[in-house]
Structure formats: C-alpha cells, structure tokens
Amino acid sequence: MQTSYSSSRILLPVWPPFIGLTLLVALLLNLLPTAAWPAMPDWLVLTLVFWSVREPRRVGMGLAFLSGLAMDVADASLLGQHALAYVLAVYGGSALSRRILWFPLGQQALHVFPLLLLVQLVQLAVRTLAGADSPGIAYLVGPSLATLLWPFLTYLLLLPQHQPVDHDANRPL
C-alpha cells in the first residue's frame, strides 16, 4: 500500500466542476475579513497555482485573469493589479508543471514559493507606481505561509481523485 501523495500515484481524472468549486471557495476565503491581515495567504492564487500545475489544460491564464479581475473589484484596488499578478503566476505554474511534479511535496512547495512571491511583488510594484505607501516587510509573510500550506492543500485537493486502496486481481491498474 502506497501512502505517499506525490505525483507517482495514479489518480482518477479530475472532475471539472470540482476545480470550479475549489476556486469559488478560495475566492470566498479571500473575501473574509481575515484576508486583510498581513500574514494571510492569498487563497485564490494558491489554488490557481495548484490547479495550473496539476491541470494546465483546464486552468489557464484566461481563468486567472478573470479571477484577478474579481479580486480587484472585491478589494476595490487598482483594476488589473491582481489580474496581472495571477496571470504571471499561472503562466509560471503551467510552464513549470512538469518539473514541479517530479519532486516530493516539500520540494514542490519550494518551487511554488517564487511564484507566490512574484504575485506579492507585482502587486507591490503596481501599488507603488500608483502612489500608495509601502506596506512593509510583513506583506511578504503571506507567500511563506502559503508555501508551508502547499502539502496540506495538495492532500486536500487530490483527495477526491484517489483510487480505492483495494486491488482487484482481474484488473491490472
């Protein structure tokens, strides 16, 4: 019996409405009042990067752009700030997906960290160019926490795709 949740495990195909449901839940988590805390991760970009790594054909830059626009409207921030950052993160996730999936979960998290940090830095640059004050170094704590949550998120989001543990002698897979 294999208990590892790495990419070597054979999974059932993902159900497309499940991807939409997880993105909707992540959007709702971003809309909670706790999302304004500096150390809170951006749940939507974390989920978008996860699905762009796992399912690059289903979650692409168009969905990232629309999700970013939704966050721009929800945060009443500069229009396009989240959209640009999310598109860059999803592009990086889909471009690096084959590489990332070769590694165990801890090393996958280290590969995802620069993408999550890029989102924060792009948003910081856009805000600074628009004349806002710098939020300080606490602004960069969110990607670190999201990196630590990567293995748990992977386990949680891949749970519906796991095949039963019992094997049938008549079926090779």
Q: Residue 139's pLDDT is what?
A: 77
Judged against a pLDDT cut of 90, whether residue 77 lies above it is answered with no
Q: Residue 14's pLDDT is what?
A: 83
Q: What is the pLDDT of residues 123-141, one digit of tens each?
A: 989 988 988 777 777 778 8
Q: Name the residue ranges covered by the structural domains of the chain.
A: 16-161
Mean pLDDT of 155-167: 78
Q: What is the pLDDT of residues 20-29, one digit of tens each?
A: 999 999 999 9
pTM of the model: 0.85
Residue 78 contacts residue 126 (beta carbons within 8 Å):
yes
